[in-house]
Chains A and B, each alone.
Chain A
C-alpha cells in the first residue's frame, strides 16, 4: 500500500465571531493518495471550503485552526514556519477557486499574472518564463495563447478565466490540486469542457485532486472516492460506485434522492426531499448533527459522537443505524 500524499487528522477549524463560535470544520479526517481524486461533497456551510483553506493555512480571521494534524508528504503543515510553508503553497499544493473573476487581478494582464507564479515557482529568466506561460496556456486549452497573454481578465469569458486560473495553479507543477467548486459559475457545456480538461491534466501530470462540489453528478463522473460533509463533519466516505449503490448514512441517501434524475419512464410525482434545514453551526444539536432531520433517528443518536465506523472495506459512515449495513 502506498503512503497517503495528504493525511488530514481530526482537523478543527473554528470561527470566533461576536455571536459565538462557529465550528466550521469539527473533526475532519481523511486521506488522499497520489494521483487520486477525492470528492468533498456537501451543502453550504458543511465545512468543505474551510477544510481546503485549512490545508493551505489560508483560513481568514476570525477563523483559526484549533486542533488536528494536516500531514502532507510526511510533514505536518500546521508546524511549518512561514518560509517552509511558502515552499509548499502554490508549489506542491495549488488551489483554484469558484469565482475566477474575483481571484484574478483586474488591472494586470492574465499573462503577467500567470508569469508571476511561473517565476515564483520555477527558476527561469523572464523571457523563458514567458514561453513557459504560453506553454501553460496551451496546456489548459486557451486558443491563440500568444494573443491571450496580453488580455485583461474582463476581456475573457468565465470559462477562459477558469482556464487561466488552472494555468496559474499548474505553474508550480503541484502534486495536489485543491479545486473548490471550479465549475459552479460556468454554463454546463463550458463546465463539461473544463471538467474534461481537468481529467486530462490529472492523467498527464499525475496530480491528486481534492474536488469540492455540491454536485453529486460531477462526483459520479470525475472522482475516485467521495467524502460527504454535514455540519462540519464527514458523515460518509467511500469509493464512488460504492457510495452511489450502497449509501449507508441517511443524509447521503437523502442527498442522492433529492436530485431530480432523467427518468425514462413515467415521472415520479414527488422528489424525496430532506425535511428541515442544515443546523446553525453556533447551536449544534447534541449527538449526531443530522438526527433532527433524520428519518431513521433513534434516542441513542442524541448521544452518538459522530465517529466514523467501518461499514465494509474502504467504506466508512458516521451512523449507528445505517442503511445497507455491512455483512
Chain B
C-alpha cells in the first residue's frame, strides 16, 4: 500500500489472519487449520466502493465478518477512521460499530420471520438509543422505508409478505438505520433474479451518493462488481491476488488468476468471440494450501520461483497491486 494513502483511508486492513480449526477425522485428536483469511491487507478511501471478488471458499465472507468483528481475527490490524478497531471494548466498541453495517446475501434468513419489517429496522435505533421516543423512532423508520423504495404500510408487514427484492430492501434499510459510514455488502444481489438485481444495484448506487457512503461490496459476479466498484480486489485461497481500479482490471488483468476469472464470465453478446483461458483443475483445500504462490498448481504461466516463494502484493503502476512473480 502506498504510504501517503494510509492516512486517507476510511478502512485500513493490515495483515489480517483467521484460521479455523477443523477436526479431520472422528478418531484423530489432531486439529488441522483452515486458512480462511491468510495475511490480507487493503484500504478503502472514504466514498469509495471497493469490490471484493473471488470464488467460494476464498475467504471473502470471512473477511467481511472479521471487519465487523462478528468473528475475531487471530492477528492483524483493522484501522477504521484512524482508530484501532480491534483494541476497542465496551462503549467505545459500540460507538464504532454503529459506523460499520452489513447487508447479507439471503434476505430470507437474515430477517427474523416473527418481527414486522418496522420492528426489524427500528431495533438497532432502539439499541443505540438514537431516537428520543417511540413516535420519533417510527418516523425515522418510515423515512428509511421511503429511501429504500418501500411504501409506509410495509412497517407493519412481516418478511414473508415481501418478495425477495423487497426483503433485500428491508435488509438495506436496517443497515442504514444507524447512519453508518461503511457498509459491507456480502453478496447482496446473488439470490435475486436479474431484473430485480438491477433494481437493487441501482438502489445501492443511489444511496451511496445521497448518503455519502463507502462500500465494501462482495460478489462472485464480476459483471456486478465491474458495474458498482471503483476498485476491485481479487482473493484466492485466503490471499489477496490483485487490487486495481475497475477499468484497468477489466482492460488488463495482470494476475493469471484474474485473467482466468474474467475469461470465464459468459458475455451476453453473441457477436464477441473470445479466446477462452480455461484454467484446469479446482481450487485446492484451504487446509493444506500449496506452497509458494497458492495459484501455481493451476497457473498456465508457472515458472521456477512460483513453487517455493510466495509472491508479495507489490505495486504495479496506476494504483495497482498484484501478487505474482511475473511482474
Contact surface of A with B, Cβ cutoff 8 Å: 43-44, 157, 159-160, 187-193, 195-196, 214-222, 240-241, 244-245, 254-264, 267-275, 277-278
Contacts and interface: CB of A to CB of B under 8 A. Distances in A.
Contacts of B196: 43, 273, 277
A133 B2 CA distance: 56
Given A255-B194, A258-B198, A188 B226 contact: no
Q: Which interface residue of A215, A218, A222, A275 has the most chain B CB atoms within 10 A? A: A215
Interface stretch (B12-20, B75-83, B264-272): B264-272
Nearest to B201: A271
Interface string B194-237: 11111101100100000000000000101110111000000000
Nearest to B189: A260
A244 B269 CA distance: 7
B270 A188 contact: no
A296 to B, nearest CB: 16
A223 to B, nearest CB: 9
A261 B265 CA distance: 11
Contacts, number: 127
Contacts of A160: 282
Contacts of B226: 260, 262-263
What DSSP secondary structure best describes chain B's contact surface? helix
Contacts of B222: 188, 262
Contact of B223 (A187, A193, A195, A259): A259
Q: Which interface residue of A160, A215, A257, A260 has the most chain B CB atoms within 10 A? A: A260
Contact of B265 (A217, A240, A263, A264): A217
Contact of B194 (A189, A219, A259, A262): A259
Contacts of A268: 227
B220 A188 contact: yes
Interface of B: 55-56, 163, 165-166, 193-199, 201-202, 205, 220, 222-224, 226-228, 246-247, 250-251, 260-271, 276, 278-280, 282-283
Contacts of A241: 270-271
A221 B267 contact: yes
Given A187-B55, A189-B279, A264 B251 contact: yes
A274 B196 CA distance: 7
A275 B163 CA distance: 13
Which 3 residue pairs of A and B lie closest in terms of their CB atoms, listed nearest first? A217-B266, A260-B227, A273-B198
B270 A270 contact: no
Contacts of A258: 194-195, 197-198
B271 A188 contact: no
Contacts of B246: 267
23 contacts: A43-B194, A190-B55, A193-B280, A195-B266, A214-B194, A217-B265, A220-B269, A220-B270, A221-B267, A240-B270, A241-B271, A244-B271, A245-B271, A258-B194, A261-B269, A264-B250, A267-B227, A268-B227, A272-B198, A274-B199, A275-B199, A277-B163, A277-B165
Nearest to A257: B198
Q: Which interface residue of B56, B163, B282 has the most chain A CB atoms within 10 A? A: B282
A157 B251 contact: no
B266 A43 contact: no
A221 B163 contact: no
Given A159-B282, A191-B264, A192-B276, A273 B250 contact: no
Contacts of A274: 195, 198-199
A302 to B, nearest CB: 21
B282 A157 contact: yes
Contacts of B267: 217, 220-221, 261-262
A245 B262 CA distance: 23
Given A187-B56, A220-B267, A221-B270, A260 B223 contact: yes
Contacts of A260: 198, 201, 223-224, 226-228
A191 B279 CA distance: 11
A215 to B, nearest CB: 6
Contact of A188 (B193, B227, B264): B264
Contacts of B224: 260
Contacts of B195: 43, 254-255, 258, 273-274
Given A189-B278, A220-B266, 15 more contacts: A188-B261, A192-B278, A195-B266, A196-B276, A216-B194, A217-B268, A221-B266, A255-B195, A259-B223, A262-B223, A262-B267, A263-B226, A264-B250, A274-B198, A275-B199
B198 A271 contact: yes
Contacts of A256: 268
Contacts of A220: 266-270
Q: Which interface residue of A221, A264, A275 has the most chain B CB atoms within 10 A? A: A221
A259 B221 CA distance: 11
Q: Which interface residue of A195, A218, A222, A273 has the most chain B CB atoms within 10 A? A: A273
A245 B280 CA distance: 33
A140 to B, nearest CB: 15
Given A157-B282, A267-B227, A271-B227, A278 B193 contact: yes
Contacts of A219: 268
Contacts of A189: 55, 260-261, 264, 278-279
Nearest to A266: B247
Contacts of A218: 266
A215 B223 CA distance: 12
Contact of B220 (A43, A187, A262, A278): A187
Nearest to B280: A193
B261 A273 contact: no
Contacts of A273: 195-196, 198-199, 201-202
Nearest to A41: B194
Q: Which interface residue of A160, A219, A267, A278 has the most chain B CB atoms within 10 A? A: A267
A219 to B, nearest CB: 8
